[in-house]
Structure 1
Amino acid sequence: MSQGGPRNTLARIRGRALYDFILEYFLTLINVKTDPLTPTFISRRVTPGGETGFTSIIDLTLATGGVEVVDWKVICGSEDFGDHRPVAYRILLPRRRPVSHAEALPSLLTGYPHHLTDWSRYKEASDALLDLSQLQHLPMTRPETAAAHLLGHIIEQLVQATKRATPYKPRRDPLSTEDPHTGSPRNSQGRRKVNPWWDKTLREKRKELNKFKRDPRASRENVIRCRGEYRALIRQKKQQAYRAFLDSLDKEDKMYEAYKRVKSSLSASATPSLLAGDITPEQTCSKLADQYIGTTAAAQPSLLSGSEASVSRCPNPHDSSMFLGHTPACMISEEEVINSLNAAKGNSDKMGGADGLRWRHFIEASEKLYRLVATLFSWCLAYSIVPDAWRVSLVVFIPKPGRDPTSVSSKRPISLTPVLCKWFERTLLLRASGIQRYLRDKGHQFAYLKQLSPLHAINHIVSFKRTHKRYFCLSVDVKSAFCEIAHSAIDKGLRLAGCPEDVTKWFSAWLETRTGHAFFRGSVASRQATPGVGVPQGSVAGPTLFTTAIEDALETAEIRIKERLVLTLRVNPAAVDVQIVAFADDVTVLVGFRCKVRLSAEEVQDLCQYELTRAFAYTALRMDPSKCQSLTNLRSASEGEGKELRILGVWLNRNDTWIKHLTERIEKSKKIGFALARFARSSFGIGPACILELYRRVMLPVVSYAIEFWGPSLANVSYKRMVNRLGNMAIRTAFRLGKSFPQHLSRTLADCGATSTELLNLAIERQLHREYSVGPRGKALERKWAQELRERAVDATAHHEILGRSTPPTEICPQVRILGKEEAIAAEQGLRNQLVRAYTDGSRKPPEETPNYVPSTEETIGSAAIIYQGGTQRVLRARLPPSATTYQAEQYALVLALGFLIKHAATLPDSTAYLFSDCRSALQSLSTQNRDHWTQVILGRVQALQSLGIDCAFVWIPSHQPEGTIPGNDEADQCANEARLIPNSQMARDVPIPVAHTKSLLTEYIAAEKVKQVQGINDPGLREMVKSQRQRDIVQKVMKYYKNGRVLNLLAGHSKILHYYVSKLKPDHDPGCRVCPGQQHDMAHVVLLCPTYADSRPEWLTGLGSVSITESRFKIFLKFLERIVETAEGNGLGLS
């Protein structure tokens, strides 16, 4: 390093200290400000003698701790960069594998990954280890001690069963750069590169191939065969892995999580960012713990050793003799325990608490567990027992999208509590089902309620806005809502909701004296929770407790705002309408006026905020006025305020235009879709057809969010143009096309409709079959929307089936028996002596020509039910409209039978009616209580029969059995066929048009649009090629390298890509070219070089890579391929 000034020695000393500091803490300094004149690195040179020398020094100001380097001059070589200028830097960990939550958290099962567990072996081990004698021979006498002993037994035995069924994998050092097994280097994220499709089968196949290659006695045919099998197996595994990858992306939040994982694996900053001003993870972890848990320090977390329990006892505690001989009045049954466990099967792999057990460990355990858990839960509820382990939360932090990663508010705390505690919370919520009815009846809350979603809340807001000439919408931000909700407010809310006293008492005891251990990048900060406030985020009961706590405050605020407005404006109360809509802690105040308003928008907003603050005072929640948003058409003092509002992911504005919302969704779709496409290509090696599938299953669902509201806008040409750009970009990405290639041609060959058409069809379906939907706004848009419906032959005025109704779920659980085929036949034979039986059936067939029936081209649908009452028999028949489905016909037959039973309930000879049906799906919809039209009708009639003292049992029977096996089903099938011949004048008129019929109309329209696309191709030869299946087969036959693709997989767009693919074509059966000696007879040689086809070979073909392919050249090339096929077949060579 050259000498550049008196301060250079000091600069070198400080630079060396800074470098040592960076190495010690594994830090990387990145220049935030783009300044090319400032060196932003330290490089180190090792001399042949082993000494280390610095060739340059960082010019920076770092005064945040550890090292302070300020005000000095840097000289690199002979260049003088001038005086020092301060530069802002970020501090990041190296590009190595981030520490996952599962690896960082303490657990009794550390080193036993759950995805490697042999679950059949685990069930056997748990059956052998769990001991039911623990219930009869308890050595303790106090209830809390007995509960602790039983809890310890359950946890200890399940942990031991897991260890027996899971191979031990020691935790790897996240900062290690070598693999612990092989010593080979890992990639930049600190882990070995493993393909998601690689498995043991491929490994064995590769060993077999290598064995053939090394064996000098192996024949060439065997090597070729084994290589072909190996490559075919790889393709199969890749396709299976890709299908599984797509199936996991069934919801938008899962798509976004996958996108974040993909981006973090490719990004240099894979680890969470430190907060502003911090240089170590310990500092950030401490700040997050103070913000979200509490400020009082607590003991560091330790693994469970004895599972001791603490208890919040009743005012009159039970003595020992009462406990040993007393059965709690609130005894929880095994059925309740099983029902609450079944409700968690969708989250079976989610992380648990410090014991390491997940939901699946309890789902797959022995049935002995149910009795043990039911007894434990009964004791905990009866005596308000809360084990110590259930009061402890392991708190991890996930980033909030779109926030500054260096601020505290950008982290969302998630509390990980033991699964057994979550199981108990779920059981209590099922027992206190009145809370759901209470919240639904109030009508303010739309979160965490069955059959309600954010779209219902948005529909409420949009409908309110459209039904009021003058309106004001205020969206309020609540600071740290779940962390600051008062426990007194929760207790008050539970009592107002009619929650049982013992459940309320247990929740109060559970929320007291909680401890949280915050984990951030390997650092731990333990805190006692702030007394009297907060619910653990990530718990099962936390969201319900929060929504119940604020419900009374929402109702109070709604009343007070209306009273203040009526007094201020001096109008009739009917002239002011105030409603409050909440989705968890997202609160929106809706104010509508039917009179002249003298107040400005700012005055109405101040009034609403003041009353909300008063109403929420007892909940300890605080509003953030700076983050409030408003949407109004009232006069405003500030220009631009109140014009638009973003709520629950949807942008609303005054004029009901959806440009901003659609633009945001398109950008998010491109961001997620193209990132996942790049990941899929690198991980699975998929072709263009698979990329198009990702476009349909990921990108289109992201764009179509809330299409129930903005869908009619797609009737405008400008909206169609916006979404079509997205589809065009996806096709170009899939086939690597240049922008100049004709888009209509690529769509036709790719068998992909226009994006606007697919989205518009979805919008029509949602508009007709969803209750939360709004129509077009404005006469011009209404005319365009009506025209779109007419083009698809859709009648908007007809009665359509409404799916997903927000009606409260019925509490009726009908008896449904679905057995195996032989068992079902035996069960039906055993029930033939019952006094009340009904056999139902539906039939859908082409019309039959009979003397009394006029033939028709439409299919006919019939339903029939045969009711046996003792020795009498009654037959009911009905003919359904042609738009009905067989599934609807089966359901309608059940409706007929139930209607007859209700009408004659007083004369039925028995109190139980058995209904037999051969439609398994119709009976399954009853057990799961689907929200389709006829399922709700059937459940309503079952409830009506129960009120009349008649119980219903539904039994599945197999269809198409030998005659006489089930005589009742044979007769019902014959009657259903006869019902199809009922005259049109007597056809059932109460059958709504199903979704399947609407989808069929929309599918036919897409097919017609594809024909129009073909007709739109200017070149007649090319148009015929697209229409000709033979031409497509020729291309696929010759270009056999891409077997899973279509025409455009190989041809289109860019000549460089065409040249690349032609060179990869597989060789033919004939090993040598008959015209060119010494040349292999592969397709690349035939297409590009062989003189046999010189007269028909396009002159530009030899210049592939430097010429562009137009429509005419595309057509000429296809004719050339056809000539090759015909010549080869004529010579008897054949092309496989």
Structure 2
Amino acid sequence: MSLLPVISKLLEKLVQKAINQYVLSSGLYGAAAYYGLTTNSGKRLLETAYNQCLRVATGCVPSTPLTKLYEVAGAPSLHTKITRQAGNLANIALRHSTPTPARTVLSARVPQRIRQDKTTWQQLAQETLPTQQFLPLPSRPPPWAKVENLTIHITDCSRDDPPHVRLSAALECLDKVSSLCAQSQSYEVWTDGSVTDEGTGGSGYLVIKVTDGQRSEVCSGSDPAGVVATSFTAEVTAAVAGLSAAEDLLTAGLTNTDGQPSLPDLILVTDSRSLTDSVAGDPYRMSPDTIPVFEAIKSISQLVTSIHLVWVSSHCGLFLNDKVDRLAAAGTQVPQGHVRLPVQATKTAVRKATRYPPPLLDTKKLGDLRTRKASCKLNQLMTGHCSLLNGYLHRIGAAHSPHCVFCPGVVEDAMHFLFDCPGRAQSRHSAALQSSSSVSQAVAESPYNIARFLQLEKLL
């Protein structure tokens, strides 16, 4: 922790990054394996160092209660942080296809010699991991594993555009892609994923056959995407199912009138921009959840002349996209118990099990007052442990009276200091500082006004 004095002198915008990426990452490396088994005194040393890092990052004084410190910093307790780390590590280790040391440890029974007051990595992970079976990690494709006949098209619009603008752009993009299909026959595969408020996932696909401009629906389906799912994993499930259905149709014996094998074009349409971006990246750097889509595209690429992956905006009135969206919603009602969970969905479940609120102070709202001193004072005012308040100074023995210098008999706390003191009314008016029900709410909504108020009072 010798880096802390140096980090405290950095610019405010670099402090949180330095704390998270250098100090905590190195200090808590492998903590999931040893934290539960260490002694109580060892845990207290770790917690003290961890809390000191948060105080340096936020500027909170040592007397700040831990609950307030975590609230202001937007950070969990050390136990919660390590439990999340254990869940994320186990999420990968349990998917190893071979009995690696990590998987062996997680699968083994806890030895009886370990006392009851100790907690193993296995037990920490079980606090957050869902009980469903996991998908094994797929083999990572090599960097040169490209699909030569794959072209990706992105509709020229933004999700913030009006629906009619997005619809027009989608139709224009689809017409352009259709004109690029040189074969008289092509297939369109429309896919979509859906996730309920409870986190249950569903996927839907629709296969359209186009022959000389004549369109006909060949097949469609609704499939479950898991009890725990994300929008991305549901989209992946839909794309894999749709491509698999199209491949089955092609391998079933699509031939032309001469009896020669026919290689049509294939158009895969999705409203998931993250899916198209993932497939467009380096195959070797793909996430484990994207690899099944890449492998499905690579498999079907041998049966078609060209593959066009098209992104269209969702909920813009595109008929087939709305239809496949309803199929995906129906997939959430299908029994999910047999579906194995992908990596990202499990990671989301771990995050939900160890959820904590974000920081109350958004330093981007400080404008030209975005300094470390300003953010530290605002954080201290939120906790009530601030050297600007006589009430706090009297409590720690640093002031003779807890009363406000302008208001005899009134204890100077953060609410009185910011909103009620008549002696500071002029600065409050100049800074356009409005009254609020709590200091935390005021700092979250208008930190610039409070910082400006402190500056006018010559306290910043």
TM-score of the superposition, structure 1-length normalised?
Answer: 0.28
Once the two structures are superposed, the pairs formed by residues 3-152 of structure 1 within 5 Å of their partners are: none
Q: Residues 950 and 1041 of structure 1: is their aligned pair in 2 closer, same or farther, counting only changes over 3 Å? A: closer
Matched residue, 1:922: 275
> Does the 8 Å CA contact 2:58/2:375 hold for their aligned counterparts?
no
Q: Match of 2:189, SS? A: strand
The correspondence for 1:794, drawn from 119, 122, 129, is 129
What is the rounded CA distance, in whole Å, between the counterparts of 2:64 and 2:383 in structure 1? Answer: 16
Once the two structures are superposed, the pairs formed by residues 933-972 of structure 1 within 5 Å of their partners are: 933-948=288-303, 951-962=306-317, 966-972=318-324
Please state how far the C-alpha of 1:879 moved relative to its aligned partner: 2.3
Matched residue, 1:843: 194
Please state how far the C-alpha of 1:836 moved relative to its aligned partner: 1.5
1:747 lines up with 2:69 in the alignment: yes
| AA matched with 2:280 | S
> Over aligned residue pairs, what C-alpha RMSD do you find?
4.3
Q: Match of 2:120, SS? A: helix
The correspondence for 1:767, drawn from 90, 114, 137, is 90
Q: Residues 998 and 811 of structure 1: is their aligned pair in 2 closer, same or farther, counting only changes over 3 Å? A: closer
Please state how far the C-alpha of 1:783 moved relative to its aligned partner: 5.5
Q: Residues 679 and 835 of structure 1: is their aligned pair in 2 closer, same or farther, counting only changes over 3 Å? A: closer
| AA matched with 1:978 | A
Once the two structures are superposed, the pairs formed by residues 296-315 of structure 1 within 5 Å of their partners are: none
| AA matched with 1:750 | V
> Does the 8 Å CA contact 1:768/1:800 hold for their aligned counterparts?
no
The correspondence for 2:153, drawn from 776, 801, 817, is 817
Once the two structures are superposed, the pairs formed by residues 1004-1023 of structure 1 within 5 Å of their partners are: 1004-1005=353-354, 1007=356
| AA matched with 2:23 | M
Please state how far the C-alpha of 1:896 moved relative to its aligned partner: 1.0
Matched residue, 1:64: none
What is the rounded CA distance, in whole Å, between the counterparts of 2:176 and 2:427 in structure 1? Answer: 65
Please state how far the C-alpha of 1:867 moved relative to its aligned partner: 0.9
The correspondence for 1:827, drawn from 152, 161, 173, is 173
Please state how far the C-alpha of 1:860 moved relative to its aligned partner: 4.3
Please state how far the C-alpha of 1:761 moved relative to its aligned partner: 1.4
1:863 lines up with 2:203 in the alignment: yes
Q: Residues 1042 and 917 of structure 1: is their aligned pair in 2 closer, same or farther, counting only changes over 3 Å? A: closer
Matched residue, 1:125: none
Q: Residues 799 and 735 of structure 1: is their aligned pair in 2 closer, same or farther, counting only changes over 3 Å? A: closer
> Does the 8 Å CA contact 1:810/1:939 hold for their aligned counterparts?
no
> Does the 8 Å CA contact 1:825/1:958 hold for their aligned counterparts?
no
1:995 lines up with 2:310 in the alignment: no
Please state how far the C-alpha of 1:725 moved relative to its aligned partner: 2.8
Please state how far the C-alpha of 1:912 moved relative to its aligned partner: 2.3
| AA matched with 1:747 | L
| AA matched with 1:844 | V
| AA matched with 1:968 | L
Q: Residues 801 and 816 of structure 1: is their aligned pair in 2 closer, same or farther, counting only changes over 3 Å? A: farther
Report how many aligned residue pairs link the two structures.
Answer: 358
Matched residue, 1:1093: 408
What is the rounded CA distance, in whole Å, between the counterparts of 2:427 and 2:3 in structure 1? Answer: 45
Please state how far the C-alpha of 1:676 moved relative to its aligned partner: 3.3
What is the rounded CA distance, in whole Å, between the counterparts of 1:1047 and 1:1003 in structure 2? Answer: 29
Please state how far the C-alpha of 1:877 moved relative to its aligned partner: 1.5
Matched residue, 1:700: 24
Q: Residues 811 and 749 of structure 1: is their aligned pair in 2 closer, same or farther, counting only changes over 3 Å? A: closer
Matched residue, 1:35: none
Q: Match of 1:866, SS? A: strand
Q: Residues 733 and 1048 of structure 1: is their aligned pair in 2 closer, same or farther, counting only changes over 3 Å? A: farther
The correspondence for 1:877, drawn from 211, 222, 238, is 222
What is the rounded CA distance, in whole Å, between the counterparts of 1:746 and 1:845 in structure 2? Answer: 34
1:679 lines up with 2:7 in the alignment: no
> Does the 8 Å CA contact 2:223/2:331 hold for their aligned counterparts?
yes
Q: Match of 1:865, SS? A: strand
| AA matched with 2:225 | L
| AA matched with 1:1093 | P
What is the rounded CA distance, in whole Å, between the counterparts of 2:298 and 2:16 in structure 1? Answer: 47
Q: Residues 712 and 925 of structure 1: is their aligned pair in 2 closer, same or farther, counting only changes over 3 Å? A: same
The correspondence for 1:757, drawn from 60, 68, 80, is 80
Q: Residues 974 and 1133 of structure 1: is their aligned pair in 2 closer, same or farther, counting only changes over 3 Å? A: same
Matched residue, 2:32: 711
Please state how far the C-alpha of 1:1004 moved relative to its aligned partner: 4.0
Once the two structures are superposed, the pairs formed by residues 234-383 of structure 1 within 5 Å of their partners are: none
Give CA-to-partner distance per residue, 1:726-750, whole Å, 9 cap, x none: 21222443566776x3663553453
Q: Residues 720 and 794 of structure 1: is their aligned pair in 2 closer, same or farther, counting only changes over 3 Å? A: farther
Q: Residues 949 and 673 of structure 1: is their aligned pair in 2 closer, same or farther, counting only changes over 3 Å? A: farther
What is the rounded CA distance, in whole Å, between the counterparts of 1:826 and 1:738 in structure 2? Answer: 59
What is the rounded CA distance, in whole Å, between the counterparts of 2:49 and 2:320 in structure 1? Answer: 56
Please state how far the C-alpha of 1:674 moved relative to its aligned partner: 4.2
Q: Residues 799 and 918 of structure 1: is their aligned pair in 2 closer, same or farther, counting only changes over 3 Å? A: same
The correspondence for 2:332, drawn from 980, 983, 986, is 980
| AA matched with 1:995 | Q
Give CA-to-partner distance per residue, 1:1046-1105, whole Å, 9 cap, x none: 24678538x6x867x99xxxxxxxxxxxxxxxxxxxxxx995433x323x44xxxxxxxx
TM-score of the superposition, structure 2-length normalised?
Answer: 0.63
Please state how far the C-alpha of 1:816 moved relative to its aligned partner: 1.9
What is the rounded CA distance, in whole Å, between the counterparts of 1:808 and 1:691 in structure 2? Answer: 38
Matched residue, 1:1079: none
Matched residue, 1:724: 47
What is the rounded CA distance, in whole Å, between the counterparts of 2:3 and 2:25 in structure 1? Answer: 11
Matched residue, 2:250: 905
Q: Residues 773 and 746 of structure 1: is their aligned pair in 2 closer, same or farther, counting only changes over 3 Å? A: farther
Q: Match of 2:310, SS? A: strand
Please state how far the C-alpha of 1:926 moved relative to its aligned partner: 0.9
| AA matched with 1:716 | L
> Does the 8 Å CA contact 1:860/1:980 hold for their aligned counterparts?
yes
Once the two structures are superposed, the pairs formed by residues 205-220 of structure 1 within 5 Å of their partners are: none
Give CA-to-partner distance per residue, 1:140-170, whole Å, 9 cap, x none: xxxxxxxxxxxxxxxxxxxxxxxxxxxxxxx
Question: Gaps spanning 5+ residues in structure 1: where?
Answer: 1-669, 681-685, 847-857, 1009-1039, 1063-1084, 1098-1116
Q: Residues 763 and 809 of structure 1: is their aligned pair in 2 closer, same or farther, counting only changes over 3 Å? A: farther
Give CA-to-partner distance per residue, 1:803-841, whole Å, 9 cap, x none: 9x6564461333322241365532312455753221111
Q: Residues 1047 and 802 of structure 1: is their aligned pair in 2 closer, same or farther, counting only changes over 3 Å? A: farther
Larger Rg: 1
Matched residue, 1:281: none
Point out which structure has higher relative CO (alpha carbons under 8 A, 6+ apart): 2
Question: Gaps spanning 5+ residues in structure 2: where?
Answer: 158-167, 179-183, 211-215, 255-261, 358-372, 394-400, 434-460
> Does the 8 Å CA contact 2:60/2:376 hold for their aligned counterparts?
no
> Does the 8 Å CA contact 2:189/2:243 hold for their aligned counterparts?
no
Once the two structures are superposed, the pairs formed by residues 279-678 of structure 1 within 5 Å of their partners are: 670-672=1-3, 674-678=5-9
The correspondence for 1:1045, drawn from 370, 374, 378, is 378
Q: Residues 745 and 1052 of structure 1: is their aligned pair in 2 closer, same or farther, counting only changes over 3 Å? A: farther
Please state how far the C-alpha of 1:1126 moved relative to its aligned partner: 8.1
Q: Residues 841 and 795 of structure 1: is their aligned pair in 2 closer, same or farther, counting only changes over 3 Å? A: closer
What is the rounded CA distance, in whole Å, between the counterparts of 2:344 and 2:188 in structure 1? Answer: 32
Q: Match of 2:313, SS? A: coil
Identity %: 15
